[in-house]
Amino acid sequence: MQNYRCKHCGRQFRITTGTFVYRLQKSQLMLEYIRCMVAGKSLRACAREVGISLPTSFTWRHKILAALKNFDKNVNFFGIVEIDELLMDYSEKGRQYSSVKEMKQAMRKKPKKVAVIVATDRSGNILFRNTESNRAKQEDIEKFLKGRITEDAVLCTGTKYAFRHIRKSKVKHKEIVGAKRKKRGVYSTAIVKAKSEEFTKWIYSKFRGVATKYLQNYIMWYVAIGKYLSEGIINNTGRMLNLASSDRFAWYEYFRLSKISYTV
């Protein structure tokens, strides 16, 4: 493969540097692996069909998912926009403890839930954002909406404090939908709640939950399925390959996540 040299720093690089196939062994099997992945097969089934080990199957999946993270920049909302908070179980799935004492200490100290911001509009655009906290804060919501929502959009929110107090400078038109006022004409939060429930079922039934540090990557997989991967397996394989290949920093994101250690 052709090597290049940067004129500014003098470092060498290849066309694959930083992508999800950077430093990948058996790269000729990746397309077949993506086909198995978009077909909804488990890690074990993918490993068996492609001819790789289970740890390699896990690594390849997460390298591909890391490449989808920046795809959220392509998601914007128009018209009537519904937004809500989804509380999911905090998970350290895959963590190994050195002793029973360490496990008990971690179980006592780790948070029970992690808050996910969910937004959708009537055109089908949807996005989730892991706040990495046990509740969504006002600044989290405003940052999530920044640059994604048009000036004439109407934001439908629940009655939680952080959502009710989004500043007018951030969102000009807002409708509060509470238990006593579930609907006012076309304004409601029914769709976003249904999408939240659908996503939760997908995570827990298909994967039996995922580690919280990888949650945002699985979120983007779910978003990509709804937006781009809704046709046959052959077409979806090509589209997933194109989406994953477009990120020049996927390998670094995967490496960063894989090195995250638990402090309790």
pLDDT band at residue 229 under the 50/70/90 scheme: confident
First to last CA, the chain: 44
pLDDT confidence of 151, banded at 50, 70, 90? confident
Amino acid found at 218: Y
- E-state strands within the chain: 4-5, 12-13, 80-89, 113-121, 126-130, 154-157, 173-176
Helix (H, G, I), strand (E, B), or coil: what is residue 219?
helix
Residue 182 near residue 188, CB atoms below 8 Å: yes
Q: Which domains does the chain have, with CATH numbers?
A: 4-71+228-258 (no CATH), 75-227 (3.30.420.10)
* DSSP string covering 122-139: TTS-EEEEE-SSSS--HH
C-alpha span between 195 and 202 (Å, rounded): 10
| DSSP 8-state symbol, 202 | I
- At 182, is the pLDDT very low, low, confident or very high (cuts 50, 70, 90)? low
Q: What confidence score (pLDDT) does residue 175 get?
A: 76
Across the range 70-99, mean pLDDT stands at: 86
Lowest mean pLDDT, pick from 185-194, 200-209, 211-220, 254-263: 254-263
Rounded distance between C-alpha atoms, residue 215 and residue 153, angstroms = 28
Tell me the pLDDT of the chain averaged across its residues.
86
- Which pLDDT score, from 0 to 100, does residue 183 have? 58
Strand bridging mode 12-13 / 4-5? antiparallel
| Whether this model's pTM surpasses 0.95 | no
* Mean pLDDT of the 165-189 span: 71
Burial 142-164, CB ≥16 within 10 A → b, else e? bebbeebbeeebbbbbbeeebbe
d(CA 237, CA 231): 10
pLDDT in tens, 37-70: 999 999 999 999 999 999 999 999 999 999 998 8
- Rounded to 5°, the CA angle 93-97-103 comes to 90
Q: Classify residue 176 by its DSSP letter.
A: E
DSSP 249: T
Phi, psi at 130, each rounded to 5°: -75, 120
| Whether residue 6 has pLDDT greater than 70 | yes
Q: Return d(Cα 228, Cα 220) in angstroms, integer.
A: 11
